[in-house]
């Protein structure tokens, strides 16, 4: 209502001016306000797709306006102000909703991270030396992460995997790691992808490489290490192209570790944070993952 009072006040102050000049001044202010509304709408609805909220009542064509239509013009402007106020209320509600959702996600992530740290500590303390999961190296690996030297036959088989040489270092590293992973040479894929992620952590497609690195550890029957990689990929880049997949595989790795409750938490976060993904490319996987973890 403050906006309406301001407009009515401007009408009273300009009472001595010609009606046409008065209407033009108010019309300009309302048009400016509508432009600002559209800017807010573009911020709240960046994808567009018909989500812009247009005024229900529009200004009359200035060419057809007359001095005798001043009362009608004022009525139209007040109606437009009502519409703008209503739209602002809707947008404010959406912004508050998004803020609350982000805070909720952050709290759930912290809870999940605490559970992961506790799980890792428990696994290390309970495991025998032979069963301790090898963590991802903090330094670029130079050898296959295995205690034993690979057999000549394996070395020869790995050598047959073509190494891309397109000139794009990130793509070459990622695609070579993918070929190694696809051929089930998981330790070699881990080395290649780990090096690629460390060198090009800010690359637009780094989310792909981190997710595939997690899968290389998960498929190598090292779910504890995979959990950390998937969680880090989702947390560090929640808008990354493969963040939804990492959240799904995080749930899968937790299920492999016997942490069904935490797995269901991850699957629930996936459905909440990425509704489009879970109804499309991840729909079948999510249903299978929930069933395997016995989620309610």
Q: What is the pLDDT of residues 256-281, one digit of tens each?
A: 999 999 999 999 999 999 999 999 99
Q: What is the pLDDT of residues 57-85, one digit of tens each?
A: 455 555 554 555 566 777 877 788 778 87
Exposure string of 160-181, with b = 16+ CB inside 10 Å and e = fewer, is eeeeeeeeeebbbbbbbbbbbb
Domain match, 165 and 270 both = yes
Instruction: Let me know if residue 18 belongs to a domain.
Output: yes
Residue 21 has pLDDT above 80, yes or no: no
Domain match, 157 and 250 both = yes
| Number of Cβ atoms within 10 Å of the Cβ of 147 | 7
Residue where one domain finishes, among candidates 97, 123, 141: 97
Residue where one domain finishes, among candidates 69, 97, 125: 97
Query: What whole-number percentage of the chain has pLDDT above 70?
Result: 62
Using the Cα atoms of residue 286, residue 287, residue 291 and residue 294 in order, give the sign of their dihedral.
Answer: positive
Domain match, 155 and 233 both = yes
Instruction: Let me know if residue 110 belongs to a domain.
Output: no
Instruction: Let me know if residue 125 belongs to a domain.
Output: no
Domain match, 49 and 176 both = no
- Rounded to an integer, what is the distance from CA 44 to the centroid of its chain? 15
Domain match, 78 and 172 both = no
Domain match, 67 and 142 both = no
Domain match, 64 and 141 both = no
pLDDT at position 42? 67
For the chain, how many structural domains are there in total? 2
Checking phi first, is residue 67 left (phi over 0); if not, alpha (psi -120 to 50) or beta?
alpha
Residue 213 has pLDDT above 90, yes or no: yes
Mean of per-residue pLDDT scores for the chain? 77
Exposure string of 100-117, with b = 16+ CB inside 10 Å and e = fewer, is eeeeeeeebbeebeebbe
| Number of Cβ atoms within 10 Å of the Cβ of 227 | 32
Domain match, 92 and 141 both = no
Domain match, 158 and 286 both = yes
Domain match, 59 and 137 both = no
- 94 vs 178 pLDDT, higher one: 178
Residue where one domain finishes, among candidates 71, 97, 123: 97
Instruction: Let me know if residue 61 belongs to a domain.
Output: yes
Instruction: Let me know if residue 169 belongs to a domain.
Output: yes
Instruction: Let me know if residue 284 belongs to a domain.
Output: yes
Domain match, 259 and 139 both = yes
Burial of 244 (0-12, 13-18, 19+ CB in 10 A): buried
| Number of Cβ atoms within 10 Å of the Cβ of 87 | 20
Q: Give me the CATH number covering residue 174.
A: 1.25.40.10
Q: Helical H runs in 127-204? A: 152-159, 169-182, 186-199
Contact 220, 187 (CB under 8 A): yes
Domain match, 188 and 286 both = yes
Query: In 3-state terms, the chain is what percent helix, strand and coil (to 5)?
Result: 70, 0, 30
Indicate the pTM of the whole model.
Answer: 0.56
Q: How far apart, in whole angstroms, are the C-alpha atoms of residue 233 and residue 235?
A: 6
Residue ranges making up the domain that contains 58: 2-97
Instruction: Let me know if residue 118 belongs to a domain.
Output: no
Instruction: Let me know if residue 166 belongs to a domain.
Output: yes
């Amino acid at each position: 209502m403050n906006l309406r009072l301001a407009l009515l006040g401007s009408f009273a102050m300009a009472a001595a001016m010609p009606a046409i000049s008065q209407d033009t001044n108010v019309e300009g202010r309302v048009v400016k306000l509508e432009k600002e509304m559209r800017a807010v709408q573009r911020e709240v609805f960046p994808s567009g797709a018909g989500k812009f909220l247009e005024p229900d009542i529009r200004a009359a064509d200035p060419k057809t306006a007359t001095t005798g239509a001043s009362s009608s013009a004022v009525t139209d402007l007040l109606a437009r102000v009502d519409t703008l106020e209503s739209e602002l209320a809707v947008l404010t509600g959406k912004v508050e909703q998004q803020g609350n959702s982000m805070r909720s996600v952050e709290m759930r992530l912290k809870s999940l991270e605490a559970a992961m740290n506790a799980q890792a500590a428990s696994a290390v303390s309970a495991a025998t030396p032979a069963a301790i999961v090898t963590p991802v190296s903090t330094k670029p690996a130079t050898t296959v992460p295995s205690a034993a030297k690979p057999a000549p036959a394996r070395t020869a088989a790995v050598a047959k995997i073509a190494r891309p040489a397109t000139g794009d270092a990130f793509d070459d590293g990622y695609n070579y790691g993918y070929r190694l992973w696809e051929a089930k040479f998981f330790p070699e894929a881990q080395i290649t992808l780990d090096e690629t992620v460390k060198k090009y952590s800010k690359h637009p497609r780094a989310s792909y490489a981190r997710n595939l690195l997690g899968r290389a550890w998960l498929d190598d029957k090292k779910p504890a290490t995979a959990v950390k990689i998937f969680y880090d990929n989702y947390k560090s880049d929640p808008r990354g192209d493969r963040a939804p997949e990492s959240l799904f595989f995080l749930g899968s790795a937790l299920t492999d570790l016997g942490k069904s409750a935490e797995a269901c938490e991850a699957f629930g976060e996936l459905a909440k944070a990425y509704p489009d993904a879970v109804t499309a490319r991840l729909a079948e996987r999510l249903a299978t993952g929930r069933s395997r973890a016995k989620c309610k």
